[in-house]
């Protein structure tokens, strides 16, 4: 196993991401599934320069993208999108794509169970033909029910994989497993050798170590099934807009260059444009929690940040008189700021 990360959660040049993650002991990246954003030749050179491998890409199933769409044209365009992501990964020498079949945020079906199953299976089969051609594997990822109505559990993702080919697998995500499975460890065991990818964030979707998931047991279960792939960081920090905000300097107030669809995608996940400082620390904390568990050396740049402090321990704004007045722009208030009359 090795530590990997997504990069869709913050709009920044890839080079900034690579420089940061290299120093924190990440070995690969699961790049945003936006083939028009990356010139593969240059991106491949950049990855080599920083010594970071492309593990794969995650499909960003947003907007009109939907392999289970009722509209045939829309399905065909969605298949083409997935093929483009597969081609991009192949050109970046990556191994997998994580496939989210239905639109993220769409929680209402378009047709009957039978109709939708046929649409999504047929569309995924088309993608699989291309995947074989370019030598990249497909891993179907279930999300929690508030993000999609179609695939929420390991067994459901496996059902699609089985309907397409024994060579298709699944990608499981600790955040979603924790919401949807009656036993997340059994869900991992169920996937077994068909587990091609594993995403990690804590139960509150902050960095691993900042919530209540049992990372030792999760990683132990991955070891138990003989999983050898990436554990891919995918924290999506919830933007706190209330006086109870726990982090100082979490939300970036400066305008950044971000395509409107990507901003909407991030906001639909309850997050926002995060400051580099906050984002960097979440990346560091993930490494601090996970690297020792997968038997990797913890780089000095990770340890330098000190021990992990859970967000709720940073500050308890309600208990601190005066904190409320200033919390919106500068919490946590270790000493209650603003004792104005
Ligand atoms: Mn995920």
Rounded alpha-carbon distances, angstroms, from residue 117 to 97, 150, 322:
21, 9, 56
Q: How far is the CA of 340 from the centre of ligand 1 (A)?
A: 46
Residue 106 is predicted with a pLDDT of: 95
Q: How far is the CA of 248 from the centre of ligand 1 (A)?
A: 26
Mean pLDDT over 57-61 rounds to: 97
Q: How far is the CA of 72 from the centre of ligand 1 (A)?
A: 27
Q: How far is the CA of 131 from the centre of ligand 1 (A)?
A: 20
Average pLDDT, the chain: 92
Mean pLDDT over 20-46 rounds to: 97
Q: Which of 111-125, 172-186, 291-305, 319-333 has the lowest mean pLDDT?
A: 319-333
Q: How far is the CA of 154 from the centre of ligand 1 (A)?
A: 13
Q: Check: CB of residue 235 under 8 Å from CB of residue 175.
A: no
Q: How far is the CA of 144 from the centre of ligand 1 (A)?
A: 10
What are 239's two structure tokens?
A: 């933007």
Phi, psi of 201 (to 5 degrees): -160, 160
DSSP H helical ranges for 236-339: 260-268, 276-290, 300-303, 311-314, 323-330
pLDDT tier for residue 259 given thresholds of 50, 70 and 90 = confident
- When comparing pLDDT for 308 and 25, which is higher? 25
Q: How far is the CA of 234 from the centre of ligand 1 (A)?
A: 6
Report how far residue 238's alpha carbon sits from residue 225's, in angstroms, rounded to the nearest whole number: 32
Mean pLDDT over 72-100 rounds to: 98
- Ion ligand 1: residues, CB < 5 A: 173, 199, 234
Q: How far is the CA of 70 from the centre of ligand 1 (A)?
A: 25
Mean pLDDT over 284-295 rounds to: 98
Residue 248 is predicted with a pLDDT of: 81
- 83 has a pLDDT exceeding 70: yes
Percentages (nearest 5) of helix, strand, coil residues in the chain: 45, 15, 40
Helix 154-164 × helix 113-134 angle, to 10°: 70
Q: How far is the CA of 73 from the centre of ligand 1 (A)?
A: 27
Residue 314 is predicted with a pLDDT of: 78
Q: How far is the CA of 173 from the centre of ligand 1 (A)?
A: 5
Mean pLDDT over 264-270 rounds to: 91
- 335 has a pLDDT exceeding 80: no
Q: How far is the CA of 200 from the centre of ligand 1 (A)?
A: 7
Enter the DSSP assignment of 53. E
Q: How far is C-alpha 218 from the chain's CA centre? A: 17
Q: Check: CB of residue 71 under 8 Å from CB of residue 22.
A: no
Report how far residue 319's alpha carbon sits from residue 165's, in angstroms, rounded to the nearest whole number: 56
Rounded alpha-carbon distances, angstroms, from residue 306 to 3, 7, 216, 285, 300:
20, 24, 20, 9, 10
- 316 has a pLDDT exceeding 80: no
Q: How far is the CA of 327 from the centre of ligand 1 (A)?
A: 31
Mean pLDDT over 111-137 rounds to: 98
User: What percentage of residues in the chain have a pLDDT greater than 70?
Assistant: 92
Q: How far is the CA of 20 from the centre of ligand 1 (A)?
A: 21
Q: How far is the CA of 214 from the centre of ligand 1 (A)?
A: 18
Q: How far is the CA of 199 from the centre of ligand 1 (A)?
A: 5
- 2 has a pLDDT exceeding 60: yes
Residue 305 is predicted with a pLDDT of: 87
Tell me which CATH code domain 2-237+274-308 carries.
3.20.20.150
Mean pLDDT over 173-188 rounds to: 98
Residue 257 is predicted with a pLDDT of: 82
Report how far residue 12's alpha carbon sits from residue 236's, in angstroms, rounded to the nearest whole number: 15
Q: How far is the CA of 301 from the centre of ligand 1 (A)?
A: 26
Mean pLDDT over 162-170 rounds to: 98
Q: How far is the CA of 53 from the centre of ligand 1 (A)?
A: 19
DSSP H helical ranges for 61-209: 72-91, 113-134, 154-164, 174-180, 184-191
- When comparing pLDDT for 336 and 126, which is higher? 126
Report how far residue 199's alpha carbon sits from residue 219's, in angstroms, rounded to the nearest whole number: 11
Residue 330 is predicted with a pLDDT of: 42
Report how far residue 167's alpha carbon sits from residue 178's, in angstroms, rounded to the nearest whole number: 26
Mean pLDDT over 207-236 rounds to: 98
Residue 20 is predicted with a pLDDT of: 98
- Domain residue extents for the chain: 2-237+274-308
Residue 315 is predicted with a pLDDT of: 63
Q: How far is the CA of 296 from the centre of ligand 1 (A)?
A: 23
Q: How far is the CA of 79 from the centre of ligand 1 (A)?
A: 20
């Amino acid at each position: 196993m090795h530590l990997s990360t997504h990069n869709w959660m913050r709009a920044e040049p890839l080079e900034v991401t690579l420089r940061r993650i290299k120093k924190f002991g990440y070995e690969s990246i699961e790049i945003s599934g936006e083939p028009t954003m990356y010139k593969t030749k240059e991106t491949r050179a950049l990855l080599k320069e920083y010594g970071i491998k492309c593990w794969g890409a995650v499909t960003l199933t947003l907007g009109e993208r939907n392999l289970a769409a009722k509209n045939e044209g829309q399905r065909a365009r969605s298949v083409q999108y997935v093929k483009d992501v597969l081609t991009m990964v192949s050109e970046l020498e990556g191994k997998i794509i994580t496939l989210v079949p239905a639109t993220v945020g769409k929680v209402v079906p378009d047709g009957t169970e039978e109709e939708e199953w046929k649409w999504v299976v047929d569309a995924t089969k088309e993608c699989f033909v291309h995947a074989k051609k370019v030598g990249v594997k497909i891993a179907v990822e279930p999300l929690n029910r508030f993000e999609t109505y179609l695939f929420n559990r390991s067994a459901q993702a496996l059902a699609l994989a089985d309907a397409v080919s024994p060579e298709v697998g699944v990608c499981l995500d600790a955040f979603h497993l924790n919401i949807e499975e009656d036993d997340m460890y059994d869900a991992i065991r169920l996937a077994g050798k068909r587990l091609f990818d594993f995403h990690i964030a804590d139960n509150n979707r902050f960095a691993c170590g900042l919530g209540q998931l049992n990372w030792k047991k999760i990683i132990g279960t991955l070891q138990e099934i003989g999983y050898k792939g990436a554990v891919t960081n995918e924290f999506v920090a919830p933007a706190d807009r209330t006086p109870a905000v726990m982090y100082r300097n979490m939300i970036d107030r400066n305008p950044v260059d971000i395509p409107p669809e990507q901003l909407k995608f991030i906001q639909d996940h309850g997050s926002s444009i995060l400051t580099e400082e906050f984002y960097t620390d979440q990346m560091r904390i993930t490494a601090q929690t996970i690297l020792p568990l997968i038997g990797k050396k913890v780089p000095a740049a990770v340890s330098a940040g000190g021990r992990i402090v859970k967000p709720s321990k940073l500050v308890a704004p309600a208990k601190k008189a005066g904190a409320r007045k200033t919390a919106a722009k500068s919490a946590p208030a270790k000493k209650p700021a603003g004792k104005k009359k």
